[in-house]
Structure 1
Amino acid sequence: MSLLRATSRGRTLSSVSSSVPFPFLPWPSLPNREPDHPQPTSSPSTEKNATTVIRVLTEQRSADLNAALEATGIVPSPELLSAVVHSSTLSAAATLSLYRWSNGRCPGVVPVIVNALGKARAFDDAWTVLLSNPPCEEPSFAALIRRYARARMPGAAIRTFEYADARNLFDVLIDSLCKEGHARSAEAYVAEKKKKDPLWSPSIVCYNIFLHGFLRSRRFRSAERLWRELQREETVRPTVVTFGTMIEGLCRANNPDRAVQILEVEMRTAGISPNEITCNPIVDALAEAGRFKEALAAVEKFPLYGISPNISTYNSLIKGFCKNGDVAGASKILKRMIKEGILPTTTTYNYLLKLFSREGKIEEGMNLYERMVRSGYAPDRLSYHLVVKMLCEGKRLGLAEMVMREMKGKGVASDLATGSMLVHLLCRLRRFEEAFMEFEGMVEKGVSPQYLTYRMLKWELGRLGRTEMAERLTRLMGSVRCSRKLPRSYRGAGKGRLTEEMEKKKAVLRKAQALAESLKLSKGGGLPESDVATARSLVGCIRWRVYAG
């Protein structure tokens, strides 16, 4: 049974949607369109074996891991190891057991194991594995450098590069340091190399990485200084990628005017022709800021540069209109792009779904979703997330459940946000066993559930007397790393409802307020002023006891 024909209070979803006034949106007919969500990168057998190996590594004791892995009868392969490492957060002991089980029978295992050990911050074990398999390969050193940078150990990353003594890894080192917020350490290391060898000069790739790192960490003065230095450099010339990096960084920093200056003045002076990479960020930043006249004027200039607007250009415009709540403007852009032969993608329609979800327009959103599916578009994970969120907030739990079921039936894997939403939805439907199974599935897939989701589900299971399942839930939560902080808006047990004690306090306060109102009404009937003052004092005392007690 199709979700879109499900009844709700005796009416079909189609009839509800068709009765809602909705701006005309052109929908191309694409019956043979391929799904937009990514296809599985591994076979079902590999995923099944990876799940088995992960279960053994997380549930068995360290002393029994090797024997338990051998008892599975699974033959290790590079695809299997990659699936295991990328789908779970393993301890150092479990990772070493995985290495011993696969070493000698699986080529290319060392970089994968070194990366996993670095992820677990077990760098001594990572070096042991690396040095026990000569000759050491560059991918292993590259993985170690990136993990040191991510662990906020820039000095160790630099020493690893120097030990590897491989020039090909220099850009990897600088890129890792800049991406993880260590641009100052990377800058100091380059300055030191220049001091030791005055004839040495960084490559243009290195300059591009520094520009990206400075702009990403919002060090705009450093980026401008490096930009001026690059203009004076004689041995290195900026490329279109350099200009694109600078323009994109400025646009992300909400400075499209400076980006336009670089595009129209400095690129022309350098004799470099603009392309979509340099022009699209400007359109995106102007549309994001609600400057639609300037954004559309920038698009009109594309033919002067010898380029044409692409799907990214139009998606930026539609995103800007949707952010400002202008569905009619988004519809005009949609019609224009289809007229020019550019078909919208699922991402295009996700911007509209996000708008309807934000404004609580359930009928319009479901109308869009229905027409989207009917036109041959396959909703992706974000589409389902927005639709389910919109339905849950509108208390359409039955439809939300059907959308989630359809999502699973089409093989769209859930992430942290979607999985958490499903657990909360099942709890609201009072289907706690299914909620527990979904929670367990998230942990098995390597997704660390939110602590708030765990607290809510544990409270519900304890309230129903399911102590054994609540203990299993606690063990599952203990096997993953996550923040134990709760949001300030969290009011305690369950779905945020008031506890029994708070309900009693509220009842006392309501009685006190009723007493105060009755005294006010009686004041005109001859009640002495002193009695009214005494009653008011009594109400204030009760109020203080309610909130201070």
Structure 2
Amino acid sequence: MLPHLSQALIRRTRPRNPNFLLSLRPKNPNFLFSLRPFSANSSWLSSPGNPLLRWPQNPTKPPSPPPPKNPPPKTSKHHLALVQKEDLQNHQIKQDFNTLCNLLKDPSLSDNSSLQSALNLTKILPNPHLIETLIHNFDSSPKPSLLTLILWAHSHPTFHPTPLPLFNSIIHLFSKSKQFHSAWSLLIDRLNDPREIPPLVSLDTFAILIRRYARAGNPQSAIRTFEFIENLVSIEKNPSRSDCDSGSNSDPFNVLIDALCKEGHVNSASWYLQLRSESKPDWIPSVQAYNILLNGWFRSRKLRKAERLWEEMRRDHVTPTVVSYGTAIEGYCRMRRVEKAIELLEEMKRVGIELNVIVYNPIIDALAEAGQFKEALGMLERMSVYGLSPTISTYNSLVKGFCKAGDLVGASKILKMMIGRGCLPTATTYNYFFRFFAKFGKIEEGMNLYAKMIESGYEPDRLTYHLLIKMLCECERLDLAVQVVKEMNAKGCDSDLATSTMLVHLLCRMRRLEDACFEFEGMINRGVVPQYLTYKRLLEELRKSGMLEMARKLSCLMDAIPHSTKLPNTFSDRPPELRSSIMRKAEVMSDILKTCRNPRELIKQRGSSGNAVASANRLIEDIQRRAHAT
């Protein structure tokens, strides 16, 4: 029997296909969920006869012109033969793609030698288009078998990754898997290839290595890669932006500094900038390099070092640009120093730098985040005085602040304001509402808003689906959760690790262990490695229920794939004394943060878990000892 659904959640427009059923496991006839619509009758989002706002229709593309009335000319036999030949080639490419995909997904071919043998038996001749399609298909979760596929393709004498995007994709794949030696071997071979004069290697190729070295925690290797680029005269500095390009510009030094700062190696970036300045007295870092490093210090919450760098810019006669001021304003706002950001805003006016929306948005976001809505709306009006039009980011900051404060009426007013000014909301705008509904378990309001998004022509993004599924799973509404998952898949968003994990945990809580195993197996078949915590929980539930054979099969499935065996060190697993100590320190730090404005005072509180509390305890013990001594 289906769980009882309130009439407010059942009643909506009739589905197009009344026979359409949603099921997590088709073989189980008891696990079927009809496509139940949702009502818009009893929610604050759409009160009958008194709606809060008019929902705008998402702009659609203009209709395509009608086809010409004149019949097309008759094609020749030669042209028909070429078309048939092209169709056969496309069909063969599709067959080859499906064959290779099935081999890469086969868990029994996890060993490199067995996969290599299986690839040789296919008799497929690899080509650049086929390999690039496979790389992009598995890029979100690269498999070790993809590396075997690349090496197998390179072993064919007819295969040559001539297009630069394909070569960069291969370098990215090896670097992402930390196979830097293989990446460098391919790159050196490409540079020394006599068939390519000059070698088709761009700055983007080396930028991939620099960024991957930085992400792997190896800043020295990233620096050596940059020095290799400096000594390379044949590199093509391609100004086009790729997936790995940060948009900083085509200067290799800026790419290096940007990669180091983004991955948290700001000290290494600052050290190398200073070393380069000392070794080359006539070289002065560009304002872009300063901006990147300034952003790095602010993102790592090193306020004093960021302010020191700001003074060094003035000392070296590097004039701050609007980007410099915008970076500093955003950094101060991120550290909740809005008053300092407003001072910089006034300084920009004095020095004659034209203000823009980018410098206002962080201030409005910080004020709304702190619940200072009067000041935030006042700053919004100041933008209008200077002739600046708020962007979608400006309105989203206000919507986020109101939703975080639980003021849905205020958030709805901002939504109405932005629509009235011609700024249409996006999925990000609605996600702030969904986040509030998920936090407080407001299923009806959340599903009503979701229904209105679909009806108005707006496409939810993956985060929208995650928030809905999380809300429904926490409220144990399995039928609605499965419906949302099915609709998510129909929109082209595959079930990822988060979605499947939430479903498996919900099925375990509802004692639907057979269906949980089916979903767990589906994760592995899709190439998603389940979390070890999910595996242990499902295995424990199966053993408690006496389903030992299914537990054994589950263990065999997990043993067939490489996975981590670490469980999270949760707070509830710690001893009671340690939990009490952590809570005491959290309370002390919370009181300090409410009143303290001096970063030096905050630094003093860092250290052992009982810093402030232990100091108080030592003071009490000292007083007691002196009292007993007298």
Q: Same fold (TM over 0.5)?
A: yes
**Cα offset, 1:112, TM superposition:** 2.9
| Partner of residue 57, structure 2 | 30
Contact 2:115–2:148 (CA<8 Å) still a contact in 1?
Answer: no
1:469 aligns with 2:553: yes
Give the TM-score normalised by the residue count of structure 1: 0.78
Alignment correspondent of 2:30? none
The SS at the match of 2:190 is: coil
- 2:5 aligned partner, one-letter code: S
The match for 2:361 is 280
> Is 2:161–2:167's contact at 8 Å kept on the other side of the alignment?
no
Asked if structure 1 preserves the Cα contact closer than 8 Å seen for 2:105 and 2:527, the reply is no
Q: Which runs of 5+ in 2 are unaligned?
A: 13-38, 62-92, 193-198, 233-249, 575-630
Distance in 2, Cα, partners of 1:102 & 1:431:
47
2:10 aligns to what? 13
* More displaced stretch, 433-442 vs 324-333: 433-442
Map of 1:505 onto structure 2: none
**Superposed displacement of residue 326, structure 1:** 0.4
Aligned to 2:153: 101
| Contact 2:264/2:296, CA 8 A, preserved across alignment | yes
Indicate which of 129, 135, 139 corresponds to 1:82: 135
Note the C-alpha offset of 1:89.
3.4
User: Could you say what secondary structure the match of 2:191 adopts?
Assistant: coil
Q: Deviations over 1:489-527 (max 9, x none)?
A: 479xxxxxxxxxxxxxxxxxxxxxxxxxxxxxxxxxxxx
Name the structure 1 match of 2:276. Answer: 193
Aligned counterpart, 1:502: none
Partner of 1:119: 176
1:443: how far off?
4.5
Structure 2 residue aligned with 1:228: 311
d(CA) in 1 for partners of 2:269, 2:423: 42
In structure 2, what is the Cα distance between the partners aligned to 1:427 and 1:456? 8
The structural deviation recorded for 1:120 is 2.6
Q: In the aligned structure 2, how far is the partner of 1:105 from the partner of 1:149?
A: 29
Query: 1-side partners of 2:553 and 2:226: how far apart?
Result: 49
Using the TM superposition, give the Cα deviation of residue 168 of structure 1 relative to its aligned residue in structure 2, in angstroms: 3.5
Which secondary structure does the structure 1 equivalent of 2:367 belong to? helix
Is the alpha carbon distance of 1:395 and 1:426 closer, same or farther for their aligned partners in structure 2, counting shifts above 3 Å? Answer: closer
Question: Is residue 2:221 matched to residue 1:156?
Answer: yes
Q: Note closer, same or farther for the CA distance 1:13–1:31 as it changes in structure 2 (3 Å cut).
A: farther
Q: SS at the partner of 2:458?
A: coil
Residue 128 (structure 1) aligned to one of 185, 209, 224 = 185
Q: Give structure 1 stretches of 5+ with no counterpart.
A: 1-5, 35-42, 492-549
Whole-angstrom CA distance in 1 between matches of 2:438 and 2:110: 44
Whether 1:314 and 2:395 are equivalent positions in the alignment is yes
Could you tell me how far 1:164 is from its partner in structure 2? 2.5
Aligned counterpart for 1:214 among listed residues 277, 284, 297: 297
Query: What does 1:433-444 correspond to in 2, within 5 Å?
Result: 434-443=515-524
Work out the CA distance in 2 between the residues paired with 1:124 and 1:312.
43
In 2: Cα distance, 1:347 partner to 1:261 partner: 30
Q: 2:345 aligns with which of 263, 270, 273?
A: 263
Deviation at 1:311, TM superposition (A): 1.4
Cα distance in 2, alignment partners of residues 252 and 288 from structure 1: 10
Identify the structure with bigger relative contact order (alpha carbons < 8 Å, sequence gap 6+).
1
Deviates more, 1:299-308 or 1:76-85: 76-85
CA RMSD of superposed structures (Å):
3.1
Deviates more, 1:294-303 or 1:381-390: 381-390
- For 2:108 and 2:363, locate their aligned partners in 1 and report how far apart those are by CA, in whole Å: 48
1:302 maps to 383
CA drift at 1:363: 2.2
- TM score, norm. by length of structure 2: 0.68
Give, in angstroms, the shift of residue 47 of structure 1: 7.8
The whole-number CA distance in structure 1 between the counterparts of 2:258 and 2:553 is 46
Residue 309 of structure 1 aligns to a residue whose secondary structure is coil
Which stretch of structure 1 is more off in the superposition, 17-26 or 272-281? 17-26
Provide the residue aligned with 1:326 in structure 2: 407
**What letter corresponds to residue 90 of structure 1 in structure 2?**
K
Q: Is the 8 A contact 1:346 1:379 kept in 2?
A: yes
Q: Distance in 2 between matches of 1:164 and 1:96?
A: 28
Letter in structure 1 aligned against 2:117? A
Contact 2:434/2:468, CA 8 A, preserved across alignment: yes
Q: Which residue of 2 aligns with 1:183?
A: 266
Q: Distance in 1 between matches of 2:488 and 2:342?
A: 43
Q: In the superposition, relative to structure 1, how do residues 19 and 126 fare at CA in structure 2: closer, same or farther (>3 Å)?
A: closer
- Aligned-residue offset at 1:170: 1.4
- Kept after mapping to 2: 8 A contact 1:461/1:469: no
Determine if the alignment matches structure 1 residue 389 to structure 2 residue 503. no
Instruction: Tell me if the contact between 1:256 and 1:285 (Cα under 8 Å) persists in the aligned partners.
Output: yes
Structure 1 residues 279, 447: closer, same or farther in 2, change over 3 A?
farther
2:101 matched to 1:51? Answer: yes
Query: Given that residues 116 and 148 in structure 2 are in contact (C-alpha distance below 8 angstroms), is that contact kept between their aligned partners in structure 1?
Result: no
Matches within 5 A, 1:366-445: 366-428=447-509, 430-432=511-513, 434-443=515-524
Structure 1 CA distance for aligned equivalents of residues 181 and 106 of structure 2 = 24
Contact kept, 8 Å, 1:89 with 1:480, in 2: the verdict is no
Give the Å deviation of 1:342: 1.5
- How much has 1:17 moved relative to structure 2? 4.8
Return the match for 1:349 from 426, 430, 442.
430
> Which secondary structure does the structure 2 equivalent of 1:290 belong to?
coil
User: Which stretch shifts more, 450-459 or 199-208?
Assistant: 450-459
Shift of 1:485: 3.0
**Counterpart amino acid of residue 89 in structure 1:** P
Give the whole-Å Cα distance in 2 for the aligned partners of 1:424 and 1:332: 38
Q: Deviations over 1:321-349 (max 9, x none)?
A: 00000011111111111111222222212
- Bigger drift between 372-381 and 331-340 goes to 372-381
Aligned CA distance change for structure 1 residues 433 and 217 (closer, same or farther; 3 Å): same
Q: 1:164 to 1:187 in 2, by over 3 A?
A: same
Residue 133 of structure 1: SS of its match in structure 2? helix
Letter in 2 for 1:195: E
Letter in 1 for 2:354: S
Q: C-alpha separation between the residues in 1 aligned to 2:331 and 2:95?
A: 43
Answer whether contact 1:215 1:249 (CA < 8 A) is retained: yes
1:309 maps to amino acid: P
1:191/1:443 Cα in 2 relative to 1: closer, same or farther (>3 Å)?
farther
Q: Is the 8 A contact 1:27 1:375 kept in 2?
A: no
Sort the Cα spacing of 1:427 and 1:300 in 2 relative to 1 into closer, same or farther, 3 A.
Answer: same
1:244 paired to 2:326: yes
